Structure 1
């Protein structure tokens, strides 16, 4: 049987608008997927729905598709997307109106049942992460366009693969292979050189979007359309495999994929083959993402220039502490960022930034703390007083939390093109999630001369967020570098290199088949991206910071 060619045209809500048309015209495809949902996106859509109960979906998808519906029909490509967000039925209805208005006979179906908000008082949105068999049911019923709400990102690939190859719920190795391929595709151009540690090895000014050739046994080849920008190699695929993952067992609603079984090999220019993936029965519960309002947040950034930076910072802190004591916010956080340098040639490089963030359930408290008190210091504080921007009244911020419910309690439903709802049963076999057995490590590299140098000279990294936690995947590019990295980059060494992790739980997961270590730092992002807990609220650059840190590296590797 020929492989199923699944492409991606969106990795987030706001991705390249023209990518849908580019993928349709750039080469052969069977299915085109669009991933619009992230933890923060669900909160944004929930706030949209507060203003308009008919909203809650990714509006840009409608505009993207309107200009490409003729191509979709002409090319015979099926579209599968989670752009339905909080309102997949609403988006499906608008799509039905669109195809009727344009006179293009495409059949629309949708998947629902993920919305559990009614059972979680106080949440703006509570949605279970569904698997791919609802999508498969829609495609088997003849749908040309399938819209979902909150499904796992990989379900956009596992659903079409299960429908095409006739896989059943118990074919775990095949499903796991599709999960891994789907995980590589889900973030769009991150698989083709975007956001890649070694980006200078190819032309990534406008990377093409990726596609996977999935085979009947679950193996796949990751590639891209001919002539598009970017590049696909073992490194770009490894980086994306490590993105927002944890241990060797990567759990999903349909299958738990064993990341420690993945094998990659270069299969030609811009072609990486993924094989050997093993799967296990999925957990008995589904993850539910809960988004709620945490309160109000306000911030101001003071610019401190020239001499006496620390003394200037101490002065403004004392002045504001006295003012804020009259109506103290629930949380006050100061950060001094020393961007200044001695004898600087520009005023900007002579300046440091002092950032103050306050949070409180009451908007008036955070407004008074900064809008009044901070600005009243303008003529009464340190020399050279100014701020990057005047503070406002305070903005609401969100909190993301995980919950878990039994799979059978979630009404996973495929609404077929003729409008018939079909209940998708939970998997017949489940297995509680447990840590994988310890991975065997290679023999340490022989001792020799070392040189103090950045880790990034011998290792790549990619980092991301999962709720309040961050992961940092680090991989070696050669077997010799892996022998050194596996023994050098311990949890203690990681904490030494990333000081803000020292008081937090840090877990290391070796993945020898990928020559990689995956670190999970629990709690480093506070209550999740929407709470804007730290300078880099999604930990996107945490891996690059780690790569810039210096340690003693064997000269043989340099």
Structure 2
């Protein structure tokens, strides 16, 4: 590897997008072809919090088990092929996992240096309780004056029912690539991390391989985007892909995991091992690119990536090039994921069939509110009656005629939550016609939940270090310092298309009703309590006989795609997005930002506040917003006939 460093692109293979991905994917990435680095992201925002209390009590090992299993399966071939591994599977206790891996390497007489990164866990500094005022822990979105915090954002300020401070469960800062880079330069072969940013391992791999200076921001920014593209395992190779229905379903049963070949200028080619299932196309890459963005600037602890001019180009089968990224110094702050004991929650699922369903739900909601004791009602933070589904017209069977009511309840007081379920006894046989429920009513029993609070913390306050385990059992610890420069956070871009592109109601243009998904693909996801959703024009036909048929496949039909994008960007205004959200839009609570990515024919929105507190404490059925894109793609819109 040392002889090739910097002379060709570095091949970075991702083996995990969350802790549940199979451990054998690390072995597959190591053995199915040549790679220089294996990276893995094992941590969703709530992983650390779920195990934090048990770990501090000595009842949990602190690391992610699939990370350890993957290393056990792969360590021999990693040593044989000289592959370097950087993963965040160390989770709460990367030191413990590093010691286990170090011992395993010694038992096998493998010449591998193991290291671990520390400095992300700030619970000892900020805990054990949540702050008494919101000024003590700055919310992530406080710099956006237009975004009103969700009603429960600062619920922790109320304290517990008996007047005590709310206990903090965990607080982890998102670290950058700097510490990993120090470890690689010090000779580490395997680096175990806790809460580093998802793309940080890939940034560090390219930074080390090409020996960039820390102020070569365009190159670092390109590596940041490369890491973003591959960190969600199969999301860029056919998973969570809105255009999946045009491909052979057998190709998508077990997609191969991705590889990013990151060049010396920061551009990359996304690919996968030959012979693996799945697909890498300009569409799958654009889908993943649009995932979990917050506008045209992608923030990271090492670099700000300006992604508005991104270009995505077909190179060959399962090979797609991504370029056009610019960079600048990073912000002076980084994200801090804080979790605290949110109280108790429960859900009740009631079914109704067919005729008069809306009136049935009106009745049961009125009955529950009538019989619910006033003392319990006053203690509830959340009581929502969510109507899920619509009965089919002229139903062919009972299932197609059945929908359900999801009653979601949350409170600091478990008895107040339980009282909602107990009201069903009062309704008893007073219920609507055809009343029935699921067999499993355990969801109605109050259970504790963790609430999420995304915060900002100065990078200068972090004390990060890389710790190298030596053969004699000693540890060499190196402080990694802080970025050489910072750039203050800028106001996020948000704009509507030029007025001449927006369809006017008075225009004498012949249109037809089509589903938006007949024109555009999309991807949606979450950033805490905020939803992001991006729409783009496909590079190939959406389906045989669809409006954009005859485009000639990837690389063909450019004029047709350009015309479709001109319509899409003109149609998808901020006002239109509110309209498409329909009854889910709340004018007084939510805020929308809109930007465009012309190089990939995309329009992107961030809807602030629609996911509530987000993550584990969202009351929405789709708490991570992953289904929003496909819901909106199913909405009928007026499309000019000239596009067909």
Same topology, TM > 0.5: yes
Match of 1:430 among 467, 486, 501: 486
**1:62-141 map, 5 Å:** 62-121=68-127, 122=129, 123-141=168-186
Q: Does 1:165 align with 2:210?
A: yes
| Residues 380 and 50 of structure 1, relative CA distance in 2, 3 Å threshold | farther
Structure 2 vs 1, CA of residues 304 and 200 (structure 1 numbering), >3 Å: closer, same or farther? closer
Q: Is the deviation greater in 327-336 or in 278-287?
A: 327-336
Q: What pairs with 1:267-416 in structure 2 (closer than 5 Å)?
A: 267-326=315-374, 327-328=376-377, 329-370=380-421, 372-375=422-425, 377-388=427-438, 389-391=440-442, 392-416=444-468
Alignment of 1:175-214 (within 5 A): 175-202=220-247, 203-214=251-262
How far residue 417 of structure 1 moved from its aligned partner, in angstroms, is 3.4
Equivalent of 2:195 in 136, 141, 150: 150
SS in structure 2 at match of 1:283: coil
Task: Say whether residues 1:470 and 2:531 are aligned partners.
Answer: yes
Distance 1:266 1:48, change over 3 A: farther
Q: What SS does structure 2 have at the residue aligned with 1:260?
A: coil
Q: Which moved more, 1:149-158 or 1:39-48?
A: 39-48
The answer to whether the 8 Å contact 1:251/1:433 transfers is no
CA spacing shift, 1:9–1:323, aligned 2, 3 Å: same
- Which of 567, 571, 574 is matched with 1:484 structurally? 567
The aligned residue for residue 420 of structure 1 is: 476
**CA distance change for structure 1 residues 545 and 383 in 2, over 3 Å: closer, same or farther?**
same
Query: Structure 1 residue 35 and structure 2 residue 29: aligned?
Result: no
Indicate if the aligned counterparts of 1:246 and 1:509 stay in contact, CA closer than 8 A.
no
> For structure 2, which runs of at least 5 residues remain unmatched after alignment?
1-6, 130-167, 539-560
Query: In the alignment, is the contact (CA less than 8 A) between 2:338 and 2:455 conserved in 1?
Result: yes
Which residues in structure 2 correspond to 1:508-547 (within 5 Å)? Answer: 508-547=594-633
SS of residue matched to 1:232: coil
Q: TM-score, normalised by structure 1?
A: 0.95
> For the residues of structure 1 that align with 2:396 and 2:67, how far apart are their CA atoms?
48
SS of the aligned residue for 1:525 comes to coil
Q: Which of 256, 260, 267 matches 2:308? A: 260
Query: What does 1:46-65 align with in structure 2 at a 5 Å threshold?
Result: 46-52=52-58, 55-65=61-71
Matched, 1:223 2:223: no
Evaluate the alpha carbon distance shift between residue 471 and residue 552 of structure 1 in structure 2; reply closer, same or farther with a 3 A threshold.
same
SS at 1:126's partner residue? strand
TM-score (norm 2): 0.83
CA drift of 1:300 comes to: 0.7
Question: How far apart, in 2, do the equivalents of 1:11 and 1:435 lie?
Answer: 30
Give me the whole-angstrom Cα distance separating, in 2, the residues matched to 1:19 and 1:182: 17
320 and 445 in structure 1: CA distance in 2 versus 1, 3 angstrom threshold = closer
1:455 corresponds to 2:512: no
- Do the aligned partners of 1:153 and 1:186 also contact (CA within 8 Å) in 2? yes
Q: CA deviation at 1:267?
A: 1.1
What are the superposed Cα offsets for residues 123-169 of structure 1, whole Å, 9 maximum, x if unpaired?
21111111101111111122111111111111010111111111122
1:401, CA displacement in angstroms? 1.6
**Unpaired stretches in structure 1, ≥5 consecutive residues:** none
Q: Aligned with 1:14: secondary structure?
A: coil
2:54 touches 2:60 (CA, 8 Å); kept in 1? no
Give the superposition deviation at 1:445.
Answer: 9.2
